[in-house]
Structure 1
Amino acid sequence: MDENKQKALALLCYITMRLIAIIILGYSIYMIVIEKVDELESRYSMIAFYSLLLLGASFVPSIIEHRWKIDIPEFMELLFVAFCIGSLFIGEIIGMYRMNTWWDGLMHTLSGSLIAIFSFSLLRMLNESADIGKRFTPGFVVFLVFCIAATVGVLWEIIEYSADCLTGSNMQRYLNDVTGQPFVGQDALRDTMLDFILNSVGAAVVCVIGYIDLRIKKVTLIRAPKRLQK
């Protein structure tokens, strides 16, 4: 697929993502304000919150491009859209996280890969713009990328823990979804540890591909963002 078709596809995905978010947000507000569905009000409030997140996320790539004067590769943007829809829309709003536990693992693996790809792209851009003697070695790039992806995974688990403490949610799956009883021992840690492991696996796969990419001096999966003219 040529670059123009990729740009058109990315734009279509963003428009679709925004329309989905606006429609669901409007429906949630209607149910809360007009219908006054008290027993499900908290559920619709959470759906409205995730819809706002989905809507806001759709503008993140364009904000980054405008702020730092770069052109993010369309392949990376499509991955970002897929992750947002899979995580916020399918996972949280539709409820796939509650219906199928493997969906959470899939999203954490994808998020680790996406963060690693984005980190590789930025480091490639820095390397290409630096003097030869000041460029990072492939091994150091891989190490740095993996550390960034792992750190973001840790920060996300902190966010989940904070949300559970403040709102009484079950983002870390420490409660049984059926009985509402808290898990005990390693069962209480299983979801968090699996998230860490799968996030690391996704990042590690990209690191291997990126290392090979850097060693053979060819642009394959991970292309650096283009600097835009001021």
Structure 2
Amino acid sequence: MTSVAGRDLDSVAWSAVRIMQGILAVVVAYAAVTRQFGLVINSGIPLAITFLPRALNREYGYEMGGGLALWISGAAFLHAIGALGPYTMFGWYDQVTHTLSATLVAGAGYAIVVAIETEHDGVEIPSRLRGVFILLFVLAFGVLWEIGEFGTGLIAELYGGQAVLAQYGASDIALDLLFNAVGATIVALWGTGYFDGLSGLLARRVDRAENEP
């Protein structure tokens, strides 16, 4: 197994996840002390997401690899850090986070469709159509996200305060959806194998739910 400074890459990845969790915990505490509600949400939810791999292990016995755990935590971490300023300071930052987040949404879509195929013998989706499904799944999620951004902005405008999710006009929406599609395409072409374990977990959960009295 490949190693870094005498440690295997999986161990290094989990160490990086713990470092991110520590930094996010500090940001959440700072936001709470300074009463920045928007920052509490934008750092607290990503912090919770970084614990998802361990939660899946504890609740369902699914041992996620360090690489995928770092992938998930990295996307959450970059979003939280972006709320501190990079989103407004660097035009490219939003595109990077959207692309990275879209790869995870695409992975979830892939896991869902494979779980459906596994549990239903009459369902077989050709590989090309599976790629189209992943793309449409990500774009649909992206549209819902943009609606959420618009909604929080409208609420902030009506009642005062800072919007939890920021939106910067029609060009921002178009770029967000474009880079969502880029992330989906990357996973559809090269990254589905990383989510095979997750699809297996979903298939087992569906099978158990169907067989319960």
TM-score of the aligned structures, taking structure 2 as reference length = 0.74
Q: Which has the larger radius of gyration?
A: 1
Q: How many residues are paired up?
A: 193
Do residues 92 (structure 1) and 87 (structure 2) align?
A: no
CA distance in 1, matches of 2:94, 2:105: 16
Q: Aligned partner of 2:155: which letter?
A: L
Find the partner of 1:172 among 148, 167, 171.
167
Do residues 26 (structure 1) and 7 (structure 2) align?
A: no
For residue 223 of structure 1, report the CA deviation from its aligned partner: 4.7
CA RMSD of aligned residues (A): 3.1
CA distance in 2, matches of 1:135, 1:68: 27
Q: Is the 8 A contact 1:87 1:107 kept in 2?
A: yes
Do residues 55 (structure 1) and 44 (structure 2) align?
A: no
Q: Give the fraction of aligned pairs with identical amino acids, expressed as a percent.
A: 21
1:114 alignment counterpart: 104
Do residues 76 (structure 1) and 68 (structure 2) align?
A: yes
CA distance in 1, matches of 2:176, 2:18: 30
Q: Is the 8 A contact 2:106 2:188 kept in 1?
A: yes
CA distance in 2, matches of 1:10, 1:109: 20
Unaligned runs of 5+ in 2: 158-162, 206-213
Q: Aligned partner of 2:74: which letter?
A: A
Aligned counterparts, 1:1-230, within 5 A: 1=1, 5-30=8-33, 32=34, 44-89=36-81, 91-93=82-84, 95-124=85-114, 127=117, 129-130=118-119, 134-168=123-157, 169=163, 171-173=166-168, 188-209=169-190, 221-225=193-197
Higher deviation after alignment, 101-110 or 162-171: 162-171
Q: Is the 8 A contact 1:17 1:54 kept in 2?
A: no
For residue 13 of structure 1, report the CA deviation from its aligned partner: 2.7
For residue 131 of structure 1, report the CA deviation from its aligned partner: 7.5
For residue 133 of structure 1, report the CA deviation from its aligned partner: 6.1
CA distance in 1, matches of 2:60, 2:51: 14
TM-aligned CA distance change 1:71 to 1:201, over 3 Å: same
TM-aligned CA distance change 1:147 to 1:17, over 3 Å: same
